[in-house]
Structure 1
Amino acid sequence: MAEYQTIRTAGGVRAAAIDEGLRAHMNKVYGTMSVGMFITFAAAWAISGLAVTNDPAAAAATLGNGTMLSGLGAAIYLSPLRWVIMLAPLAFIFFGFGAAMNRLSAAGVQTAFYVFAVLMGLSISSIFLVFTGFSIIQVFLVTAIAFAGLSLWGYTTKKDISGWGSFLIMGVIGLIAASLLNIGVAYFTGAPVAGLDLAISILGVLIFAGLTAYDTQNIKNIYIQHAAAGDQEWLGKAAIMGALSLYLDFINMFMFLLQLLGNRE
């Protein structure tokens, strides 16, 4: 009986330690994600400011809404460089973070994440030229509330939603394909496919809402599975990658909601 009590007590202590470690792990995930979000929007705002000029003589181009672009702005938004800027974050995801996880320390992976956040800011900076500042703030708050609720549900639910992963990833691939098709049609014909923008935006919100809950539960499960090993370096990297997953869920949900709800200049 005494031996059983000892085992039960030891198990309770171990479970309590894992719970405490999980809370610290999730705090690091959300904290890193929040810093990345701040870097992204600060970079986007700063770059969009540099892209605009108030001097007609210095304007390299003018957008349809009357916004005058500087030489930098014309290079970013109107030249072929815009395709590089648009696809740079995607390339970084596929080719940068895999190598970073294998070769860099946890601090190095975190630095790579912040560099990616700057690239993402450059990629989405045009929102400050297209949408009103009030609507950007409004949609950001809506996204933050929705994200918080979905992530909390993913963390606390007893339901196993791991089966959602493959379907949601297939949905993301479909979104990318449909978006590229729409961009290609608009580039060659001058107008996107009728109704496709709306369908992409609605599906995008639903898919990344599901991914928010799925990724949160997955981050939690990965920590619980590996906490006993005590590899703090690996857990540190896992926290950064978890932050990256939730960061991408938030950014994409925000961008799709902005397309649906944002007021254009």
Structure 2
Amino acid sequence: MEGYSSATNTILSKAYSWMTIGLILTGVVAFLTTNSPTMLNIIHGNPFMRIVLIIAQVGLVWYLSMNIFNMSASSAVASFLIYSALLGLTLSILAFYYTGQQIAGAFFISAGMFGGASLFGKVTKQDLSSIGHYAIMFIIGIILASVVNAFLRNSALDFIISFVAVVFFTALTAYDTQVIIGWQKSVDVNDSETRNRLAIMGALKLYIDFINIFLHMLNLLNRRN
């Protein structure tokens, strides 16, 4: 039981560490891009470039998810860090719409919600698998509603989308934490390479959860009519 707990904590703690590194990298890249007129023009002055960035990010998430056990841990780390950097380029656009104070406020609130949800997922005895069963449905629904509202520009629908997204991704954080804790039941966690791969996969899940909480919280706190 001691080895079981130790392996679990190692995977989860490494996932937290890599997630933190990913967030720092995203923030640094976004900051540097925001302070470079040339980079801003290259990325946000060309709609095609934004599309390329989004496709690259989706592709990296898919690649990592599908091939995590067929690649080395170092390749998984590199893919995750590249994804984090690319998202930093994309999120540099936030500087056009929000002040540093607004971004910081949303970040700390999101961090608190994320931390509380992840802690709940870690300590609860309740099976949270039902959240995972509906995850794809909710994600597709949020994406479709966001695309539709990009044309409608309806303030009420915008609020509903962000509110639902914050609640959903907060719940998904608890579920993903529980999933990470449960991985050692079916995988040989005594192998350091496997532990490192799982840590990166866990970091990616938690990173995506946090980014979605943050972006939608930022929208909720600073909505403009």
TM-score of the two chains, using structure 2 as the length reference = 0.91
Q: 1:92 and 2:52 equivalent?
A: no
Secondary structure of residue in 1 paired with 2:196: helix
2:14 to 22, 28, 34: 28
What is the RMSD computed on CA atoms of the aligned residues? 1.9
Letter paired with 1:79: N
Q: Deviations over 1:52-80 (max 9, x none)?
A: xxxxxxxxxxxxxxxxxx5x423322322
2:50 is matched with: 82
Give the % identical residues. Answer: 33
Q: 1:132 and 2:99 equivalent?
A: yes
1:40 to 26, 29, 33: 26
2:176 to 215, 219, 234: 215
Listed as ranges, the matches of 1:134-213 within 5 Å are 134-183=101-150, 185=151, 192-213=153-174
Q: Is the 8 A contact 2:166 2:213 kept in 1?
A: yes
Greater CA drift, 151-160 or 19-28: 19-28
Q: Deviations over 1:155-184 (max 9, x none)?
A: 00000111210212210111111122223x
Partners of 1:159 and 1:134 lie apart in 2 by 37
Letter paired with 1:108: S
TM-superposed CA distance for 1:209, in Å, is 0.6
Stretches of structure 2 that go unaligned for 5 or more consecutive residues are none
Q: Are the structure 2 counterparts of residues 235 and 150 from structure 1 closer, same or farther at C-alpha, using a change threshold of 3 Å?
A: same
TM-superposed CA distance for 1:86, in Å, is 3.7
Q: Deviations over 1:199-222 (max 9, x none)?
A: 111111011011100000010011
Q: Deviations over 1:227-248 (max 9, x none)?
A: 4x63332222111100100000
Listed as ranges, the matches of 1:233-252 within 5 Å are 233-252=193-212
Letter paired with 1:255: L
Higher relative contact order (CA 8 A, sep 6+): 2
TM-score of the two chains, using structure 1 as the length reference = 0.78
TM-superposed CA distance for 1:193, in Å, is 3.4
Q: Deviations over 1:37-56 (max 9, x none)?
A: 100111111111113xxxxx
Q: Are the structure 2 counterparts of residues 209 and 98 from structure 1 closer, same or farther at C-alpha, using a change threshold of 3 Å?
A: closer
Stretches of structure 1 that go unaligned for 5 or more consecutive residues are 1-14, 52-69, 186-190
Q: Is the 8 A contact 2:60 2:79 kept in 1?
A: no
Q: 1:232 and 2:200 equivalent?
A: no
1:50 to 18, 30, 36: 36
Partners of 2:55 and 2:157 lie apart in 1 by 21
TM-superposed CA distance for 1:25, in Å, is 1.7
Letter paired with 2:157: L
Partners of 2:10 and 2:195 lie apart in 1 by 11
Q: Deviations over 1:4-37 (max 9, x none)?
A: xxxxxxxxxxx11111222222111100110001
Partners of 1:43 and 1:100 lie apart in 2 by 26
Letter paired with 1:82: R
Q: Is the 8 A contact 1:33 1:247 kept in 2?
A: yes
1:12 is matched with: none
1:11 is matched with: none
How many residues are aligned here? Answer: 223
Higher CA-based Rg: 1
1:62 is matched with: none
